[in-house]
Amino acid sequence: MERKKTVSVTLPDGSKIEVESGITASELAKGLGEGLFKKAIAAKINNQLVDLSFKIEKDSSIKIITYNDPEAQEIILHTTAHVMAQAVKRLYPDAKIAIGPALEKRFYYDIDVEPPIKEDDLPRIEEEMRKIIKADHPIERVEMTRSEAIEFFADRGEIYKVEILNDIVDTEVVSIYRQDDFVDLCRGPHLPSTGKIRAFKLLSVAGAYWRGDSRNKMLTRIYGTSFPTREALNKYLKFLEEAKKRDHRVLGRQLELFDINENVGPGLVLWFPKGTIIRKIIEDLWIKEHLERGYQLVQTPHIGKARLWEISGHLGFYRESMFDAMKVENDEYYVKPMNCPFHIMIYKSKTRSYRDLPIKYAELGTVYRYELSGVLHGLMRVRGFTQDDAHIICTPEQLDEEIEKLVEFSISFLRNFGFENFDIYVSTRPEEKFTGSIQMWDVATYSLKKALEKLNIDYSIDEGGGAFYGPKIDIKIRDALERSWQCTTIQFDFNLPERFDMSYIAEDGTKKRPYMIHRAILGSIERFVGILLEHSAGDFPVWLAPVQAVVLPITDKQADYACEVFNYMKERGIRVELNNRSQTIGQKIREAELQKIPFMLIIGEKEVSTNRVSVRRRKKGSLGVFTWEETFNLIKEGK
């Protein structure tokens, strides 16, 4: 009798077992234990997520994925998205399915359906989804050639799937997933059956242009979420409610900070007086701290000749994110997507010696990038924004010290705004395409790690995640809702110094290539203000609040005295307003609370007669009665 072939399987604890070749991940899970089998939803084989139906045909390391594993969330979301799409197809047979990715804790599906689905339709779709889940349809993976898949989806009128397939050029074999009467193009993996979905909710409906391009058709985008337990779902729904209250777009209008007007252009921000004050305070602090650390401030134009962007490589690698050229005296000019080529031209304006280095150029430079209208989002994703940009040009010997200074400066600056929790990543050399020598990459990467370790900062490695032109440190901040936001980037660049032939005269008299580091602490002023708004719910610390205090006379009889208090505070640098409108004091206080003004200076007959001010603190209530000077000191202390 012929002996069946076996393969070796390495389990997460390091132990090894022999199993029959061709066994599925599901069968392996069952063999390891009935409890594991019941909780199993997918597998990780040689660090690649696969369906439980995957056949093990060679020696492999294997982890069975259950509902409790971090990898489970995306699989659950993705499968729930397919179930939602199936429900929509049942209820709207003429609907055409576009794309449906899983996000961090949500999913969405873009669907071409007439008339567009509305919020009121979501309960009906949810009810149909529950029927599909109850039926517990098996989910099957099928592989086809690309041409077979194009014909398959064309026969079903799924024009968006056909377009996606026509754009795939790097593979000839694609996978589709089938559950009952629904079929979709997808890489997977998925849950083994629809019945494995436990707790879901459809969240909202929005419009979305196909592929985010306003020149394409507007589709209906349905958002939803899904979790292993009802408890986890309810917790997330509460989080969404809190996040909704903190939406920076709503707060921006409510607090009269900024607007994005379609008549001006999508993604272009109009800063109102109060918003401009916040920007100026941030920028003044930024300038002060840079000057203290030896940076030199520069300013560069908003446009540059096409030749500049050819040398930098932007026209070759970044053209689709740049606005179209403008003709000026037979030359083509582009609005700048980045500041770096201008800083390099300042560096190259004369011969540099090793004695001149390091040179640190800093600029609050406004740049413009053509983002598709479908991805624009308040201040978080715009077309015109101000980078808090800096470039450090140094010798190899100065590298370690400069990186250490950059990390310390970045974290110190972010802490000014109340951020204390950071997620830090070092991104290393990609496997294939990269510029610069391996030795340069190794030196730079070691310098990044060494700086973090010397400062006792924990970090994770993003293996192969560096840009083609150099390794980097990314610093993400955690906000009040524990969301992670990318802010600081400390990025080596081996590409631009080569392209622009940057050099310095070394101590031995020879020409050498300097190291160049791009660095932004906040990322962009616009986005950072948006993050701050959501982190603080618009309740800024006193030093940053656009209006620090408002003077509130109780009646018209106190108007003159209130005006004197107002002028006293204003002359001493307090950002103060005077509300002398014909309102009750209760209305005035409520308005100040809604505008999130930290201090309310209430003036009544008693205050006038005693030459005092009654001070009320937002959220805390009355602090008592104080002299003008004591009131001023309270506001300056910001407590």
| pLDDT tens-place string over residues 247-305 | 999 999 999 999 999 899 999 999 999 999 999 999 999 999 999 999 999 999 999 99
Residue 309 pLDDT > 90, yes or no?
yes
Active-site pick, 387, 491, 548, 595: 387
Give the CA angle between residues 540, 407, 396 to the nearest 5°: 150
Task: Report, as an integer, the average pLDDT of 42-71.
Answer: 92
Report if residue 619 sits inside a domain.
yes
Active-site pick, 121, 389, 474, 479: 389
Q: Write down the mean pLDDT value for the chain.
A: 93
Report if residue 77 sits inside a domain.
yes
The half-sphere exposure of 591 on its side-chain side, counting CA atoms within 13 A, is 16
pLDDT at 316: 85
pLDDT at 1: 44
Whether residues 509 and 446 fall in one domain: yes
Residue 171 pLDDT > 90, yes or no?
no
Please tell me the distance from the alpha carbon of residue 102 to that of residue 112, in angstroms, as a whole number.
Answer: 19
Integer-rounded Cα Rg, in Å, for the chain is 30
The CATH number linked to 25 is 3.10.20.30
The half-sphere exposure of 312 on its side-chain side, counting CA atoms within 13 A, is 21
The whole-model pTM stands at 0.84
| pLDDT tens-place string over residues 107-155 | 999 999 999 999 999 999 999 999 999 999 999 999 999 999 999 999 9
The CATH number linked to 108 is 3.30.980.10
pLDDT at 608: 95
Last residue of a domain, one of 487, 502, 536: 536
Active-site pick, 86, 137, 211, 340: 340
Last residue of a domain, one of 319, 335, 351: 335
To the query of whether residue 253 is one of the catalytic residues in this protein, the response is no
Report if residue 272 sits inside a domain.
no
Report if residue 543 sits inside a domain.
no
Given a contact cutoff of 8 angstroms between Cβ atoms, the answer to whether 415 and 475 are in contact is no
Domain count within the chain = 5
Task: Report, as an integer, the average pLDDT of 302-328.
Answer: 91
| pLDDT tens-place string over residues 325-345 | 999 998 999 999 999 999 999
What is 502-521 written as a DSSP string?
A: --EE-TTS-EEPPEEEEEES
Last residue of a domain, one of 26, 50, 66: 66
Report if residue 11 sits inside a domain.
yes
Active-site pick, 44, 248, 336, 472: 472
pLDDT at 3: 57
Given a contact cutoff of 8 angstroms between Cβ atoms, the answer to whether 602 and 549 are in contact is no
Whether residues 370 and 236 fall in one domain: no
15-19, 232-236, 563-567, range with the lowest pLDDT = 15-19
Whether residues 14 and 36 fall in one domain: yes
Percent of the chain with pLDDT over 70: 99
Please tell me the distance from the alpha carbon of residue 292 to that of residue 299, in angstroms, as a whole number.
Answer: 18
Whether residues 93 and 156 fall in one domain: yes
270-284, 418-432, 585-599, range with the lowest pLDDT = 418-432
Task: Report, as an integer, the average pLDDT of 211-237.
Answer: 93
To the query of whether residue 487 is one of the catalytic residues in this protein, the response is no
To the query of whether residue 248 is one of the catalytic residues in this protein, the response is no
Whether residues 412 and 520 fall in one domain: yes
Task: Report, as an integer, the average pLDDT of 151-165.
Answer: 94
- Long-range CB contacts (within 8 A, 24+) of 314-322: 314/338, 314/341, 320/370, 321/369, 321/370, 321/371, 322/369, 322/370
Whether residues 135 and 191 fall in one domain: yes
To the query of whether residue 391 is one of the catalytic residues in this protein, the response is yes
pLDDT band of residue 390 (cuts 50, 70, 90) is very high
Whether residues 361 and 418 fall in one domain: yes
Domain hosting 306: range is: 301-335
DSSP SS3 for 333: strand
The CATH number linked to 605 is 3.40.50.800
| pLDDT tens-place string over residues 501-550 | 999 999 999 999 999 999 999 999 999 999 999 999 999 999 999 999 99
Given a contact cutoff of 8 angstroms between Cβ atoms, the answer to whether 132 and 87 are in contact is yes
pLDDT at 197: 96
Whether residues 458 and 313 fall in one domain: no
Residue 443 pLDDT > 90, yes or no?
no
DSSP SS3 for 409: helix
**Residues in CB range of 5: below 8 A, 6 or more apart:** 20, 21
| 541-553 burial: b if 16+ Cβ within 10 Å, else e | ebebbbbbbbbbb
Whether residues 174 and 128 fall in one domain: yes
Active-site pick, 246, 518, 535, 588: 518
pLDDT band of residue 2 (cuts 50, 70, 90) is low
Task: Report, as an integer, the average pLDDT of 473-496.
Answer: 92
Report if residue 608 sits inside a domain.
yes
| pLDDT tens-place string over residues 551-581 | 999 999 999 999 999 999 999 999 999 999 9
Whether residues 479 and 625 fall in one domain: no
Whether residues 146 and 286 fall in one domain: no
Phi, psi (deg, nearest 5) at residue 272: -80, 170
Report if residue 261 sits inside a domain.
no
To the query of whether residue 472 is one of the catalytic residues in this protein, the response is yes
What's the burial of 364, exposed, middle or buried (CB within 10 Å: 0-12/13-18/19+)? buried
Task: Report, as an integer, the average pLDDT of 606-633.
Answer: 95
Report if residue 256 sits inside a domain.
no
Active-site pick, 391, 429, 527, 588: 391
To the query of whether residue 290 is one of the catalytic residues in this protein, the response is no
Task: Report, as an integer, the average pLDDT of 20-26.
Answer: 91
Whether residues 390 and 504 fall in one domain: yes
Active-site pick, 201, 246, 369, 596: 369
